[in-house]
Amino acid sequence: MSTENVSEKDEWRDLIEEIKKCRRCPLHQNRTNAVPGEGSVNADIMIIGEAPGANEDLSGRPFVGAAGTLLRKILREIGFDEEKIYITNVVKCRPPGNRKPNKDEIDACSPYLRRQIIYIKPKIIIALGNVAGEWIFREAGLQWDSISRNRGRIYETNLYGMKISVIPSFHPSAVIRGSVDEDILRKDLLLAKSLLENEKKIQRKPLSLYDFLKK
Ligand code: SF4
């Protein structure tokens, strides 16, 4: 059963409605739909990409084009339940021609992603690609180098007062373009999966008599 109470649900619904109606940056001018994100608000894992593409803009859903289909296929193959993950992007509206969002657009949209992270309180954030990796590192006060150098490692961060592990990896569009091997992305997603499983095991560990007496 969900742990959300009614006012929390209202807060989330208001946030999603705000994103859908947002005109804070010029990207609203050409969008068909803003794409707030998709998945469980109780998710342990958040996956953050760069920005919606053409298919996402049309459907209002994140990661549904070729790159998203690949990502979802790998998630299924390695045993992630998509419904227990929350998937979103740094910016919520499609930049024309799928160009990278610029700094002003990212800055204008950032409060939404911050609020989503604070609301969901994920244990792990998987940042796909340079834009997402750089964004989350900046939020955590870490030095970003490049996706090639930072990917595939676990960074223990303190984000908005929460302990969150960040794992950067390549964006699946790099796999589609042929510049990155699919196995590298799979390996990084598997790293997130084993980290989550380990954390759950630690939480389930029974108390020793000593720990019990300390309580
Ligand atoms: S990209 Fe973000 S800030 Fe810009 S209009 Fe869309 S929701 Fe608003």
Q: What is residue 16's predicted lDDT score, i.e. its pLDDT? A: 98
Cβ of 127 less than 6 Å from ligand 1: no
CA-CA distance, 177 to 192, in Å (whole number)? Answer: 24
Q: Which of 28, 31, 90, 113 to mutate to test the pocket of ligand 1 (most atoms within 8 A of CB)?
A: 28
CA 104 to chain centre: 20
Q: What is residue 183's predicted lDDT score, i.e. its pLDDT? A: 97
Q: What is residue 8's predicted lDDT score, i.e. its pLDDT? A: 77
Q: What is residue 191's predicted lDDT score, i.e. its pLDDT? A: 98
Domains within the chain, CATH numbers bracketed: 6-214 (3.40.470.10)
Q: What is residue 1's predicted lDDT score, i.e. its pLDDT? A: 42
CA-CA distance, 119 to 124, in Å (whole number)? Answer: 14
Q: What is the DSSP letter of 118?
A: H
Cβ of 109 less than 6 Å from ligand 1: yes
Q: What is residue 213's predicted lDDT score, i.e. its pLDDT? A: 60
Q: What is residue 209's predicted lDDT score, i.e. its pLDDT? A: 62
Closest CA to 22 of 38, 37, 9, 34: 34
Atom of ligand 1 nearest to the CA of 22: 8
CA-CA distance, 65 to 58, in Å (whole number)? Answer: 10
Burial of 109 (0-12, 13-18, 19+ CB in 10 A): buried
Q: Is the pTM of this model over 0.95?
A: no
Cβ of 19 less than 6 Å from ligand 1: yes
CA-CA distance, 106 to 113, in Å (whole number)? Answer: 10
CA 35 to chain centre: 13
Q: Which of 18, 98, 105 to mutate to test the pocket of ligand 1 (most atoms within 8 A of CB)?
A: 105
Cβ of 106 less than 6 Å from ligand 1: no
3-class SS letters over 146-170: CHHHHCCCCEEEEECCEEEEEEEEC
Q: What is residue 200's predicted lDDT score, i.e. its pLDDT? A: 79
Cβ of 24 less than 6 Å from ligand 1: yes
Q: Which of 57, 91, 114, 135 to mutate to test the pocket of ligand 1 (most atoms within 8 A of CB)?
A: 91
Cβ of 22 less than 6 Å from ligand 1: yes
Per-residue pLDDT of the chain (215 residues; tens, 9 = 90+): 445 566 878 999 999 999 999 999 999 999 999 999 999 999 999 999 999 999 999 999 999 999 999 999 999 999 998 778 999 999 999 999 999 999 999 999 999 999 999 999 999 999 999 999 999 999 999 999 999 999 999 999 999 999 999 999 999 999 999 999 999 999 999 999 999 999 877 766 666 666 656 55
